[in-house]
Structure formats: C-alpha cells, structure tokens
Amino acid sequence: MSVLDSAALDRFVSADPKAPVVMLNLVRFAPGGADKYTEYIEQLTSSGIKERYGVTVVYGGAGHPSLVAAEGGDWDLVALFSYPSRRHFVDMVNDPDYQAFEHLRAEAVATAVLQPTTPALEP
C-alpha cells in the first residue's frame, strides 16, 4: 500500500481542519498480513496513540465474499475509525511514536482504500 504523501495530507486537513471525520478502511491483506495487522492495532492501543489522538474504533469486521461488487471488490477487513478532527488524524500519522510501528500496517496490507467520510444520512 502506498504511504500517505504530505500534499495529500495537506489537502485533506485544509478542507476543514477542525471537523470530525470517520475514516473508511477497506483492507486486503498480504500473505500473513492479518497477524501483522492485529499487531498494528495492538500497538495503536498500547502505545497510547488511540487516547492521545482520540481515535475510536466505530466498527471493524472481517470481509466475506461480496454479493454485489466490481471485480476485485472483496475485502479482508472493513473498518471505521473516528477522529475528533482531520488535524488529529494528520498529527497522529506524523507522530514519531505512531511511525515507530506503522510499518506493521504497511507490511500487512496488499491493497487498501482509506476514505474520509462525513455524515450524509440520518440514522
């Protein structure tokens, strides 16, 4: 999976730095990646990063074969992570403590979608 580049992060945060955001994560694991991703999530918690940046796991679930999807549209993991603001997300990914274990995510993932979302439908 490609790393986040600084220009993309600048555009993302400048759109509305203080607005809350929920990040949609669609992940297809590399061979053996599920275990590495589990390590990554454990580090996110044990390092204090989740608390420091107000990260909330809204949902995380194992993917199953799609009923309707474009070819290659099956994902191993679907997750929603909530952040108090776009700035919190950018500060987190730039934090040296986060960067110390981010390699686990990079090694775990063959391909992924990371898409910011904001509410559009009433529950």
> Computed from CA positions of residues 26, 32, 37, 40, in that sequence, does the dihedral angle turn out positive or negative?
negative
In-domain check, residue 44: yes
Mean pLDDT of 98-123: 92
Rg over CA atoms, the chain: 15
Q: Across the chain, what does the average pLDDT equal?
A: 92
Q: Which residue has the tokens 């999530």?
A: 41
- 120 token code pair: 């559009």
- Compute the distance between CA of residue 103 and CA of residue 99 in angstroms, rounded to an integer: 7
Query: Which pLDDT tens digit goes with each residue over 34-83?
Result: 999 999 999 999 999 999 999 999 999 999 888 887 777 789 999 999 99
Q: Between 6 and 123, whose confidence is greater?
A: 6
Residue type, 34: A
- Compute the distance between CA of residue 107 and CA of residue 91 in angstroms, rounded to an integer: 22
In-domain check, residue 97: yes
CATH number at residue 98: 3.30.70.100
Long-range contacts of 17-20 (CB under 8 A, 24+ apart): 17/85, 17/86, 17/87, 18/85, 18/86, 18/87, 19/85, 19/86, 19/118, 20/82, 20/83, 20/84, 20/85, 20/118
In-domain check, residue 9: no
- Which residue from 62, 112, 59 is spatially nearest to 81, judged by alpha carbons? 59
Domain that holds residue 39: 17-65+74-117
Q: Count structural domains, the chain.
A: 1
